[in-house]
Amino acid sequence: MKHKKELKQLKKEEKSLVDYKWIITVSLMAFFISLFFSFTSELILPNTNFIIGILVLIIFILLGIIFDILGVAVTSSDEKPFHSMSSRRVKGSNISVKLIKNAEKVSSFCNDVIGDICGIVSGSAGAIIAITLSQKFNFNQFTTSLIVTSIIASLTIGGKAIGKSFAIDQSNIIVYKFSKLVSIFYKVKRNK
């Protein structure tokens, strides 16, 4: 009987941990950001030359890697030095504290929303580049698509693997630099 009560209590606590407002918010953000990125790539890539297409593809891959680094850095950073910096009113430190306190949301946004969208968009950009290559140089379209897709995957995965090690090792510095950049556009209200 006692175990049933404890189990019931655990289930209640688990339910209270689900933040439905955040889930809806992040889903809507993902929709609109994906719409923007996809629209941009579909607008630019088919009507541009091959070199510009590759540059756009590289930008999407780099964006995915950079946001993955940021997401990992926020989850592995230490809040204590930023509280000390915040008490001395160091620019960006209060934003660092806010990011770290919301690490699961920041990580979800950076790694899942931006990272996944960049992966999807770079895949479709790769498909357009593969078609362009096969038509321009009379390559086999199937083989070209396989090679382009494999290159994109290896650059993305390799870049994120390198980035994760860097993010864990330099987490506080990454969070601080990012917070300092964000502080130009966003001010956190200080508790009095």
What is the arithmetic mean of pLDDT over 157-164?
A: 95
Lowest mean pLDDT: which of 40-54, 56-70, 124-138?
40-54
Q: In degrees rounded to 5, what are phi and psi of residue 140?
A: -70, 125
Which tokens go with 74? 């926020």
All structural domains of the chain with their residue ranges? 55-178
**Rounded-to-integer distance, Cα 43 and Cα 133, Å:** 18
Please, are residues 83 and 62 in contact by the beta-carbon 8 Å criterion?
Answer: no
Mean pLDDT over each residue of the chain, to the nearest integer: 86
pLDDT tens digit sequence for 175-184: 999 999 998 8
**Rounded-to-integer distance, Cα 115 and Cα 64, Å:** 4
pTM equals 0.81
